[in-house]
Amino acid sequence: MDVPMLDLKAQYAAIRESVLRAIRDVLDTQIVALCNGPAVRELEQQVAAYCGCASAVAVSSGTDALLCSLMALRIGPGDEVIVPPFTFFATAGSVWRAGARPVFVDIERDTFNIAPARIEAAITARTRAIIPVHLYGQMAEMPAIMEVAARGGLLVIEDAAQAIGASQSGRKAGTIGNAGCLSFYPTKNLGGAGDGGMILTNDAELARQLAVMRNHGESSRYHHKHVGGNFRMDSVQAAVLSVKLRLLDEWSAKRTANAARYDELLADAETVVTPTIRPHNVSNYNYYVIRVPRRDELQAFLKDRGVATCIYYPLGLHRQECFRELGYGRGDFPECEKAAEEVLALPIFPEMTDEQIRHVADSIKEFLALSCPHPADLPNRVR
């Protein structure tokens, strides 16, 4: 049985006519690249209402959401920004592109998110901000992070690229810090027909500044007080996302049900650590990530059984060649490095059938039965 990592064709088939109608409506207006066009403004209002924040500013990608936020907050050369080393490259890459220095802080073993207890030791006189990442769809511990930030007078930019709709104690991802960055890359729970992103904020002045910075820093036509970027979302993407947003909660609920089914089927697999979701968190299960010894062997075995998987992420950012001059090395962030050796994302897309989920779980158990790991290979179980 073939089980893809994601089946976008199945999703599209169910909404094809609505999506095509929305695209045709935009093309008929020929307002396709105006950052304050009607389709973009409508999506901004819808996302702000969905997330429960005052403003949402549409941009060209989740990466550009991070960079635009840093630029609008005047973070640049000479500044330091605290980030986790276990995340997608854009988190630290955007800091670097803004001219600032990423400073890494290790993650928590059970959630894979930045460890708040380790942040304070990384703060220096040059620290301006913290970028916590809500990895795999579960929010980082924001109250503790905000407390550290308040003591140090630091800004907080939430990287919620994987976490739209996730919540913590009733508050949605991206709405707690000074700004929150969403990604609408096609593999996300809310994915467009290409790249797209959004910046959430409750600060009216910051929202105004973000809108300026996304359009080359233009405050009025052909007048530029600041140098911004071309971070505009095109209207076609906005129209597609508006159609999909109406189904987001339904799709996330299906992901949650699929995760519960995996939890049930893998409960007796001793060497497999299934995701830990803390009681005050609601995950959107953008990814369902297990920890397992002999991860690479398991991945190859699953591939032979027709099961697609992904490794998010195989190498910590502190060990990426482009950040060599930061001076980090192997062993600096042991939780990150251990996770990089053990994590494996399983398919969890909303259109999965129970038969497919059972096939994935049964294949994992088959591998474990054949490999008979030595007790020393067992990962530390975190429940």
What is the tally of structural domains in the chain?
Answer: 2
pLDDT value at 68 more than 80: yes
pLDDT of residue 374: 52
One domain, residues 210 and 287: no
Q: What element of type H or E holds 227? A: none
How large is the average pLDDT for residues 123-136?
Answer: 98
One domain, residues 30 and 167: yes
pLDDT value at 137 more than 80: yes
Residue 156 pLDDT grade (very low, low, confident, very high; cuts 50, 70, 90): very high
Show which of 245, 268, 286 is a domain's final residue. Answer: 245
Taking residue 117's Cβ as centre, other Cβ atoms within 10 Å add up to 13
One domain, residues 222 and 275: no
pLDDT value at 383 more than 90: no
One domain, residues 328 and 366: yes
Distances from the Cα of 151 to the Cαs of 46, 69, 145, 176, in angstroms?
A: 34, 22, 10, 16
One domain, residues 49 and 135: yes
Helix or strand or coil: residue 364? helix
How large is the average pLDDT for residues 223-232?
Answer: 94
Show which of 212, 245, 278 is a domain's final residue. Answer: 245
Domain of 230, in residue numbers: 8-245
Taking residue 374's Cβ as centre, other Cβ atoms within 10 Å add up to 8
One domain, residues 232 and 367: no
pLDDT value at 355 more than 60: yes
Percentage of the residues of the chain whose pLDDT score is greater than 70 = 97
pLDDT value at 378 more than 90: no
pLDDT of residue 377: 54
Residue 373 pLDDT grade (very low, low, confident, very high; cuts 50, 70, 90): low
- Beta-strand relationship, 171-172 and 167-168: antiparallel
Angle between helices 8-29 and 235-245 (to 10 degrees): 130
Residues 6+ apart with CB under 8 A from 316: 85, 86, 104, 333, 336, 337, 340
Residue 381 pLDDT grade (very low, low, confident, very high; cuts 50, 70, 90): very low
pLDDT value at 376 more than 90: no
45: Cα within 13 Å, side-chain hemisphere: 8
One domain, residues 55 and 173: yes
* Euclidean distance between CA atoms 283 and 108, whole angstroms: 16
Name the average pLDDT for the chain: 95
One domain, residues 226 and 365: no
Examine residue 281 and state whether it is found in any structural domain, yes or no: yes
One domain, residues 217 and 254: no
Examine residue 3 and state whether it is found in any structural domain, yes or no: no
Distances from the Cα of 383 to the Cαs of 252, 281, 313, 342, in angstroms?
A: 22, 14, 21, 16
18-32, 227-241, 314-328, 368-382 — which is least confidently predicted?
Answer: 368-382
Examine residue 382 and state whether it is found in any structural domain, yes or no: no
* pLDDT tens digit sequence for 77-114: 999 999 999 999 999 999 999 999 999 999 999 999 99
Question: Residue 362: which CATH number?
Answer: 3.90.1150.10
Examine residue 195 and state whether it is found in any structural domain, yes or no: yes
CA-nearest of 161, 162, 129 to 146 is 129
pLDDT of residue 379: 52
pLDDT of residue 371: 80
Examine residue 383 and state whether it is found in any structural domain, yes or no: no
Q: Which of the pair, 193 or 220, is modelled with greater confidence?
A: 193
pLDDT of residue 382: 44
pLDDT of residue 372: 64
* Euclidean distance between CA atoms 159 and 22, whole angstroms: 29
Asked if 26 contacts 380 with a C-beta cutoff of 8 angstroms, the reply is no
Question: Residue 132: which CATH number?
Answer: 3.40.640.10
How large is the average pLDDT for residues 114-123?
Answer: 98
* pLDDT tens digit sequence for 161-188: 999 999 999 999 999 999 999 999 999 9
pLDDT value at 250 more than 50: yes
pLDDT value at 5 more than 60: yes
* Euclidean distance between CA atoms 16 and 22, whole angstroms: 10
* pLDDT tens digit sequence for 270-308: 899 999 999 999 999 999 999 999 999 999 999 999 999
115-129, 131-145, 360-374 — which is least confidently predicted?
Answer: 360-374
Amino acid at 142: M
Mapping DSSP onto H, E and C, the string for 85-109 reads CCCCCHHHHHHHHCCCEEEECCECC
Asked if 210 contacts 69 with a C-beta cutoff of 8 angstroms, the reply is yes
Q: Taking the complete model, does pTM exceed 0.85, yes or no? A: yes
pLDDT of residue 308: 98
Examine residue 164 and state whether it is found in any structural domain, yes or no: yes
pLDDT of residue 219: 86
pLDDT of residue 212: 96
Show which of 245, 272, 290 is a domain's final residue. Answer: 245
One domain, residues 162 and 62: yes
One domain, residues 256 and 355: yes
pLDDT of residue 252: 97
One domain, residues 136 and 161: yes
